[in-house]
């Protein structure tokens, strides 16, 4: 099977984005992978530090291996928003394909210093690295957020992005361009700042760009951002909402139901639908 770098380059060349779908439970993974199989798409399974501590790093790697073998699809695994070199090293040693160091809340020089350490170790192990410059707000654990205000100073500054990619040698860069984790109270997030994305792309050239906080983002913006150089988009909140909402509904409607393989079916199916839909929007269907 071709590696993740091959698919990221293909995405860059053919102008589509690979979805990263986050999970913390096996049933979610089954739904996500069923969506990818139907669409014949490469995917990245993502676990944050919290998600991976709940699921287990080695368990996630073992599951990726089994699913790759069974589906024959390029299924990759990313440690999302790692906050220390030590934890990312554990993920690399366990067999993750890719790691994301999130030093966005640090001073730029400190962010660069730790990212460089991660890159050095990861390159030696053949693992892909994502870095981050600019602050991407909130988290994916809210049903709906209050109206979310993005501060201008939190957006990625193109010249900082350039310094960061030059000095660290990361493979991918996550940017803050009006995106945030979670979904705004209206159900649709405000428009992306595509003007800032353009300035970043113009200055940094070929480094692949990542859009976090993909849930709720207006679809036209997503499509345009892909044309402008976004090659990976992370989705979590919409999957969590689909999963928990359907599970809650099923158990409320069937108070006697105690059999997991029965009460989890609707939740799994709802995750499949979200995953398959996002894959279509991101243009990665039939790119496996």
Residues 5-44 that bind ligand 13P (CB under 6 A): 22
Residue window 82-121: x/- pattern of binding to ligand 13P, with contact defined by CB under 6 A:
----------------------------------------
User: Which tokens is 176 given?
Assistant: 């803050």
Neighbouring C-beta atoms of residue 104, cutoff 10 Å: 20
Q: Are strands 18-22 and 43-48 parallel, antiparallel or unpaired?
A: parallel
Q: Is 234 in the site for ligand 13P (CB under 6 A)?
A: yes
- At closest approach, how far in Å is the CB of 114 from ligand 13P? 18
Residue 221 appears among annotated catalytic residues = no
Span 154-173, contacts to ligand 13P by CB under 6 A? none
- Tell me whether residue 14 is exposed, middle or buried, using C-beta atoms within 10 angstroms of its C-beta: 0 to 12, 13 to 18, 19 or more: exposed
Considering only 30, 64, 157, 212, the residue that binds ligand 13P (CB under 6 A) is 212
- Residue of 47, 215, 270, 284 that binds ligand 13P (CB under 6 A): 215
The sign of the torsion formed by the CA atoms of 55, 20, 149, 188 equals negative
Cα-Cα end-to-end distance for the chain: 10
Q: Which of 74, 131, 158, 214 binds ligand 13P (CB under 6 A)?
A: 214
The whole-angstrom separation of Cα 134 and Cα 211 is 12
Cα–Cα distance between 110 and 108 in angstroms, integer?
5
CB of 139 to ligand 13P, least distance (A): 8
Which residue among 25, 80, 171, 220 is the active-site one?
80
Is 216:189 a contact under the CB 8 Å cutoff? Answer: yes
**Which region among 33-41, 105-113, 142-150, 212-220 touches ligand 13P (by CB under 6 A)?**
212-220
Burial (CB count within 10 angstroms: exposed 0-12, middle 13-18, buried 19+), residue 106: middle
The reply on whether position 140 binds ligand 13P by CB under 6 A is yes
Judged by CB under 6 A, which of 32, 235, 274, 279 binds ligand 13P? 235
The minimum distance between CB 15 and ligand 13P, in angstroms, equals 21
158 or 182: CB nearest ligand 13P: 182
By CB under 6 A, name the one of 181, 193, 201, 232 that touches ligand 13P.
181
Asked if 213 interacts with ligand 13P (CB under 6 A), we say yes
Nearer to ligand 13P, 80 or 221 (CB): 80
Asked whether 82 and 49 are in contact (CB, 8 A), the reply is yes
Asked if 86 contacts 63 with a C-beta cutoff of 8 angstroms, the reply is no
Q: Could you tell me which residues are beta bridge partners of residue 175? A: 133, 211
Could you list the residues that contact ligand 13P (CB under 6 A)? 22, 80-81, 140, 181-182, 212-215, 234-238
Give me the active site residues, please. Answer: 80
């Amino acid at each position: 099977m071709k590696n993740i770098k091959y698919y990221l380059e293909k995405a860059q060349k053919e102008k589509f984005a690979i979805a990263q779908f986050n999970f913390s439970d096996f049933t979610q993974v089954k739904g996500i992978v069923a969506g990818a199989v139907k669409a014949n798409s490469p995917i990245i399974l993502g676990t944050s530090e919290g998600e991976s501590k709940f699921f287990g790093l080695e368990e996630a790697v073992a599951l990726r291996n089994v699913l790759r073998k069974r589906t024959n699809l390029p299924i990759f695994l990313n440690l999302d928003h790692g906050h220390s070199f030590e934890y990312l090293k554990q993920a690399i040693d366990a067999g993750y394909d890719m790691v994301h160091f999130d030093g966005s809340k640090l001073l730029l020089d400190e962010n660069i210093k730790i990212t460089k350490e991660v890159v050095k170790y990861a390159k030696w192990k053949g693992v892909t690295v994502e870095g981050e410059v600019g602050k991407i707000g909130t988290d994916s654990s809210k049903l709906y957020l209050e109206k979310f205000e993005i501060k201008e100073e939190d957006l990625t500054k193109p010249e900082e992005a350039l310094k960061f990619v030059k000095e660290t040698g990361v493979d991918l860069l996550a940017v803050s361009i009006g995106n945030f984790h979670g979904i705004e109270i209206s159900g649709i997030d405000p428009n992306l700042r595509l003007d800032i994305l353009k300035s970043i792309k113009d200055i940094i050239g070929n480094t692949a760009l990542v859009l976090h906080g993909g849930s709720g983002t207006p679809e036209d913006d997503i499509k345009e951002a892909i044309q402008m150089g976004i090659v990976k988009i992370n989705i979590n909140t919409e999957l969590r909402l689909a999963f928990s909402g359907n599970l809650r509904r099923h158990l409320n409607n069937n108070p006697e139901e105690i059999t997991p393989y029965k009460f989890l079916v609707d939740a799994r199916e709802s995750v499949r639908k979200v995953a398959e839909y996002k894959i279509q929007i991101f243009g990665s269907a039939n790119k496996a």
